[in-house]
Amino acid sequence: MPRLPRQLQAGYAYHVTTRCNNREFRLTRLECREVFIYALQKCQKKFEFKLYGLCIMSNHVHYLLEPQAPEDLPKIMHWLNWYTAMCFNRMLHRTGHFWEKRYYSTGFPADDHKRALNTLRYIHANPKAAGIQQGFFYDFSNYGIYDRLTQDGITQWHPAFLALGATLEICAAAYRKFCKRYRPKPKPEGKSHWGSKLLAGMIPKPKKQRASPGQKSLWEEWEVCTEVHQVAERFVLANCFNPKFALALFPQPPT
């Protein structure tokens, strides 16, 4: 059955979600997240889209973006997923699909401020809803630029945020209050799939991986290049809860 064409319209913003193949937690490494942020900046320079919301979780990513033209969205996601998949497969010494099937996207008029604010809050609440954070600050989401009015070099404030008050400080206070009212909906219980009982005793338990003698870990050898490091550092320090603590993730070169 052929895939249904995406409904792309001019003047629309899109909430986009991509997930790692097999729902594997491939985005937990700091190095992978640094490369992802760098790739996102390269993609943004190439296609000149507006990025309003971003949250990088352990096995999926949320975006709120507005392309220059509706037909740019598939180009943006194709390039970004291709570039990051090539990088991650090489870094992780793996082959095959890195991202799971087709990315999910839902669009709405860019001037629909209520929908935009609800979407931003949903994206920024992902770590809190997953139990990773107690609050909304998260090193790899752009909530910080809305709360602290910082600049991370990649994302920007949505017009809906700027319409919350006469000054940026009022806008930030209003959005902070709006986020605190958020109550994530409980996730539905897991479905019982066909064969669950029959195959329960036939699924082998995963074996513990053992490192071969004399074989070094990729992560002990691989170093992030300076440009990637700088782009990621600016993003994290602009959005994290405590910049002094987050700075420890990015040791400064000796002077």
**pLDDT tens, position by position, 17-49:** 999 988 888 888 889 999 999 999 999 999 999
**pLDDT of residue 218 exceeding 50:** no
Q: Are strands 12-19 and 60-66 parallel, antiparallel or unpaired?
A: antiparallel
Q: Is the pLDDT of residue 195 over 80?
A: no
| Angle, CA of 166, 171 and 175, to the nearest 5° | 155
pLDDT at 219: 40
Q: Where are the domains of the chain?
A: 12-185+224-243
Output the CA–CA distances (angstroms, integers) from residue 35 to 42, 103, 109, 242, in the order listed.
Answer: 10, 20, 31, 22
Find the mean pLDDT for residues 49-67.
96
Helix, strand, coil percent values for the chain (each to nearest 5): 45, 10, 45
Largest Cα–Cα distance in the chain? 64
List C-alpha distances in Å: 15 to 64, 93, 107, 215, 247. 5, 31, 6, 42, 30
| Side chain identity at residue 72, one-letter code | D
pLDDT score of 204: 60
Q: Is 195 left (phi over 0), alpha (psi -120 to 50) or beta?
A: left
Question: pTM here?
Answer: 0.83
Q: Which of 158, 126, 124 is nearest to 239 (CA)?
A: 124
Q: For residue 66, give every residue at least 6 positions away whose Cβ sits within 8 Å of its Cβ, in sequence order, or none.
A: 12, 13, 14, 49, 50, 52, 110
Residue 220 structure tokens? 């002990």
Token pair listed for 60: 């999926």
Residue range 12-185+224-243 forms a domain whose CATH class is alpha beta
Locus of tokens 């507005």: 66
For residue 156, the model assigns a pLDDT of 97
* C-alpha span between 42 and 47 (Å, rounded): 9
Residue 226 in this model has a pLDDT that exceeds 70: yes
Q: Where are the alpha helices (DSSP H) in 125-247?
A: 126-129, 143-147, 159-162, 168-180, 196-199, 218-221, 226-239, 243-246
For residue 145, the cross-strand partners are: none
* Closest to 141 measured CA to CA, from 60, 25, 225: 60
Given pLDDT bands bounded at 50, 70 and 90, which one contains residue 211? very low
In sequence order, which residues have a C-beta less than 8 Å from that of residue 230 and are 6 or more positions away? none
Confidence class for position 243, pLDDT limits 50, 70, 90: confident
Long-range contacts of 82-85 (CB under 8 A, 24+ apart): 83/39, 83/42, 83/43, 84/35, 84/36, 84/39
The DSSP letter of residue 184 is: P
Render pLDDT for 123-176 as a digit per residue (tens, 0 to 9). Answer: 999 999 988 888 899 999 999 999 999 999 999 999 999 999 999 999 999 999
